[in-house]
């Protein structure tokens, strides 16, 4: 490497954190794994040679000063972008990192424009990328007063997962359900003081047929915004089924979609690891962008096995090391989140429905890697601690259909399209 740098890796219980541990550890990069828990999943990895405790990143008032001290002390030089919250915390502390490093990883303004959905929506419209109809009420009262003007079915969801946590939102079918469901999210003190607007949900159109038309473009951008690696995939299943995390992705060969997603990420984020989520709107065949994640995504192992080691590429870019020529990605792989994927199959059999088709392509698991098997056990054990939470979402009714015309709103001061 041109510039040696020690990388702090947080989110040690999550797949993105473990992916960074494995990729950078195998490459011989200096890493330090942190967690507020004593034995997180990543600590079981063969490549976790240094571990330390840290404050809970969800408690920003404690974590941010601590992280500032860790960087200034020289114990770490870089922070791996493993979650929205970590990316946000790093964006609030850009000046503590060495200048030769911070000019190459994700820029603060691009991270915030990606994490805050009102900013993302505005940036997409300014740049000519379509997004679903959305509104961003300025108060609970305003949202309820304008409920009749919104498009239904709609999703009430956080403007950002920063401070809100893992809440995915809920689907409302009409104005009465919207009024009943629209309420503020509780925020930690630090985020409440800095960004109080995040407590208010956004209202977004539930695009008809969205669950059958979800796609992603993921990759990494170089220091100048150039595409170092990018590839497309299609989300096949998620948990919970209506609004949830992906549990099955298929590799996709679609150069036009890759070009579209990389262009959006370059224009808004600027550089670093990214994942852009799209819906192909069945009403007109157009692409609508719904999210830009400025960090490693949950199915990052799929990209790594396809030939793009995103954590290592990110490290090389951040340290100014040479970037090897990109290889053509594999398109014969599927990725699965093993435990909920198996539960989905079981529930379908119990209910007498058609079984989930098992693709013939080679499968990549969210965690399990035969070269580093130990993290699989604590990860699966953690998921199985609450079996009801695994099974219940698959027993719920299917996603709603858009069975009546939409009614667009046009109100002064309300961000709608």
CB 42 within 8 A of CB 64: no
Q: For residue 406, what pLDDT is reported? A: 37
Complete DSSP assignment for 41-77 = GGGGSTT---EEE---TT-HHHHHHHHHHHHHTTS-S
Q: For residue 399, what pLDDT is reported? A: 42
CB 70 within 8 A of CB 48: no
Determine the Cα–Cα distance for residues 377 and 368; give it in Å rounded to an integer: 9
Q: For residue 353, what pLDDT is reported? A: 64
Q: Which of 196, 178, 205 is nearest to 138 (CA)?
A: 196
Is 50 exceeded by the pLDDT of residue 412?
no
pLDDT tens digits along 40-79: 999 999 999 999 999 999 999 999 999 999 999 999 999 9
Determine the Cα–Cα distance for residues 302 and 219; give it in Å rounded to an integer: 11
pLDDT tier at 354, thresholds 50, 70, 90 = low
Domain positions in the chain? 7-106, 107-417
CATH for 107-417 (3.30.470.20, 3.30.390.30, 3.20.20.70, 3.40.50.620): 3.30.470.20
**Tokens found for residue 41:** 């999943």
Q: Name the more confident of 361 and 89.
A: 89
- What is the number of other CB atoms lying within 10 angstroms of the CB of residue 165? 14
Mean pLDDT value of segment 325-345: 91
Q: Is the peptide bond before 28 cis (omega within 30 degrees of 0)?
A: no
Q: For residue 352, what pLDDT is reported? A: 73
Mean pLDDT value of segment 254-283: 97
Complete DSSP assignment for 168-206 = --EEE-SHHHHHHH--PPP--HHHHHH-GGGGSPEEEE-
pLDDT tier at 297, thresholds 50, 70, 90 = very high
Is 7-106's fold the same as 107-417's? no
Determine the Cα–Cα distance for residues 78 and 112; give it in Å rounded to an integer: 19
Is 60 exceeded by the pLDDT of residue 300?
yes
Residue 32 CA from chain centroid, whole number:
23
What mean pLDDT is reported for the chain? 90
Q: Which of 56-65, 261-270, 313-322, 349-358 has the lowest mean pLDDT?
A: 349-358
CB 318 within 8 A of CB 98: no
Determine the Cα–Cα distance for residues 365 and 202; give it in Å rounded to an integer: 33
Q: Name the more confident of 181 and 414.
A: 181
Task: Classify domain 7-106 at the CATH topology level.
Answer: Rossmann fold (3.40.50)
Is 90 exceeded by the pLDDT of residue 212?
yes
Q: Which DSSP category does 224 fall into?
A: T
Is 60 exceeded by the pLDDT of residue 2?
no
Q: For residue 411, what pLDDT is reported? A: 31
Q: How far is CA 301 from CA 181, 212, 321, 411, in A?
A: 36, 23, 23, 44
Complete DSSP assignment for 251-280 = EE--HHHHHHHHHHHHHHT-SEEEEEEEEE
Q: Which of 295, 217, 214, 220 is nearest to 247 (CA)?
A: 214
pLDDT tens digits along 105-163: 899 999 999 999 999 999 999 999 999 999 999 999 999 999 999 999 999 999 999 98
Q: What percent of the chain has pLDDT over 70?
A: 92
Is 60 exceeded by the pLDDT of residue 402?
no
Q: For residue 390, what pLDDT is reported? A: 82
């Amino acid at each position: 490497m041109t510039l040696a740098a020690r990388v702090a890796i947080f989110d040690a219980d999550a797949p993105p954190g473990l992916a960074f541990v494995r990729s950078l550890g195998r490459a011989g990069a200096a890493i330090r794994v942190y967690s507020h828990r004593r034995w997180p999943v990543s600590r079981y990895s063969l490549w976790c040679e240094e571990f330390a405790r840290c404050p809970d990143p969800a408690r920003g008032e404690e974590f941010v000063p601590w992280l500032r001290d860790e960087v200034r002390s020289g114990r770490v030089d870089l922070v791996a972008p493993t979650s929205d919250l970590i990316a946000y915390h790093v964006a609030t502390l850009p000046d503590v990192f060495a200048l030769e490093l911070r000019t190459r990883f994700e820029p603060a303004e691009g991270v915030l424009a990606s994490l805050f959905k009102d900013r993302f929506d505005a940036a997409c419209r300014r740049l000519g990328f379509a997004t679903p109809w959305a509104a961003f009420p300025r108060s609970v009262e305003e949202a309820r007063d304008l409920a009749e003007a919104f498009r239904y079915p709609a999703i009430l969801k956080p403007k950002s997962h920063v401070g809100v946590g893992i809440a995915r939102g809920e689907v409302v079918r009409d104005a009465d359900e919207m009024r009943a469901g629209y309420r503020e999210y509780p925020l930690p003190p630090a985020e409440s003081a800095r960004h109080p607007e995040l407590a208010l949900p956004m209202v977004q159109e539930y695009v008809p047929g969205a669950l059958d038309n979800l796609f992603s473009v993921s990759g990494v951008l170089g220091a100048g915004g150039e595409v170092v690696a990018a590839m497309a995939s299609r989300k096949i299943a998620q948990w919970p089924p209506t609004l949830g995390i992906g549990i099955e992705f298929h590799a996709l060969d679609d150069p036009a979609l890759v070009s579209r997603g990389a262009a959006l990420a370059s224009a808004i984020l600027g550089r670093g690891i990214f994942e852009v989520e799209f819906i192909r709107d069945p009403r007109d065949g157009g692409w609508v962008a719904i999210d830009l994640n400025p960090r490693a995504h949950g199915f990052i192992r799929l990209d790594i096995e396809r030939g793009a080691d995103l954590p290592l590429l990110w490290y090389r870019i951040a340290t100014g090391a040479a970037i090897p020529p990109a290889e053509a990605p594999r398109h014969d792989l599927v990725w699965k989140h093993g435990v909920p994927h198996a539960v989905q199959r079981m529930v379908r059999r119990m209910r007498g429905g058609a079984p989930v088709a098992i693709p013939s392509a080679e499968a990549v698991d969210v965690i399990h890697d035969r070269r580093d098997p130990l993290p699989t056990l604590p990860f699966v054990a953690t998921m199985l601690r609450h079996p009801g939470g695994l099974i219940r979402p698959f027993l719920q009714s299917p996603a709603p259909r858009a069975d009546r015309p939409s009614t667009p709103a046009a109100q002064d001061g309300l961000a709608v399209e």
